[in-house]
Amino acid sequence: MNIYAIRVIYKYEMLRAWKTILQSFASPVISTVLYFVVFGAAIGSRIEQVEGVSYGAFIVPGLIMLALLTHSIANASFGIFFPKFTGTIYELLSAPISFFEIMVGYVGAAATKSFIIGLIILGTAGFFVPLEIAHPVWMFVFLILTCISFSLFGFIIGLWAIDFEKLQLIPLLVITPLVFLGGSFYTIDMLPPAWQTVTLFNPVVYLISGFRWSFFEVSDVSVWISLGMVLTFLLVCLVTVWWMFKSGYRLKQ
């Protein structure tokens, strides 16, 4: 195992976040505060409790997931795309380092940044709504697994993208709609029966449901199904990254 390589990649990526600290950490907090003001205070005060939870508190897990997903993908995809764009990727490809070590460095740093953002948002939410976490261990399990799996997904996008437009394509056109329609601001029960069925094809539903259960013991699907879906997604991403490095897809061809 090339520990020094993992260390320098991780350090380099974390340093990049530190250099842009306002963009990396302050920006998601401001966005979340705005969501709380609009949905929690302005609209939420007119909505009754959802499954026994105040609406302001109900949307906290969804908002955290929204930030985690978008930032995990953005951090990891940009982290590996930028060396491709500038040409400095030659160093990674010619170094005695495996795909797994490259992945651990980049995805580890992206997941760490997302994890920190998740905790900051959680802390910020505490200023707006009273929060109780029923299952803190499960909460951390979902938090960490989501950070890692969506950072991996972002890493794949960064490897796949050949220009800045493609880098933004999937996060904007696929991820954002899936998160908004994945139950961030409502439960599936609130939808008409036909849309409830359609929603079950949205993988983000399982993430938010499991994460919300860890807070309030309220969920759309079983927590085990949620966990299984996250782990399956993680595995699919791992295999995809392995294949991309093995075949050299858009890297060594």
Residues in touch with other proteins (CB under 8 A): 2-5, 7-9, 12, 19, 82-83, 86-88, 90-98, 248, 252-253
Quote the tokens at residue 57: 């508190």
Nearest approach, Cβ of 91 to other proteins (angstroms)? 6
Nearest CA-CA partner of 64 in 150, 173, 143, 155? 143
Nearest approach, Cβ of 94 to other proteins (angstroms)? 4
Identify the DSSP state of 97.
Answer: -
Nearest approach, Cβ of 242 to other proteins (angstroms)? 15
Residue closer to other proteins by CB (options 98, 168) is 98
Residue closer to other proteins by CB (options 25, 99) is 99
d(CA 134, CA 140): 12
Cβ atoms of residues 29 and 192 within 8 Å:
no
Residue closer to other proteins by CB (options 56, 105) is 105
Residue closer to other proteins by CB (options 5, 50) is 5
Residue closer to other proteins by CB (options 91, 217) is 91
Nearest approach, Cβ of 15 to other proteins (angstroms)? 8
Nearest approach, Cβ of 8 to other proteins (angstroms)? 3
Residue closer to other proteins by CB (options 21, 172) is 21
Identify the DSSP state of 200.
Answer: T
Nearest approach, Cβ of 106 to other proteins (angstroms)? 13
Q: Residue 148: CB partners within 8 Å, gap ≥ 6?
A: 107, 111, 234
Cβ atoms of residues 182 and 226 within 8 Å:
no
Cβ atoms of residues 156 and 244 within 8 Å:
yes
Quote the tokens at residue 108: 């580890």
Quote the tokens at residue 144: 């960490």
Residue 238: what residue type?
L
Cβ atoms of residues 43 and 101 within 8 Å:
no
Residue closer to other proteins by CB (options 97, 125) is 97
Nearest approach, Cβ of 9 to other proteins (angstroms)? 8
Cβ atoms of residues 62 and 184 within 8 Å:
yes
Please state the separation of Cα 21 from the chain's center in Å: 18
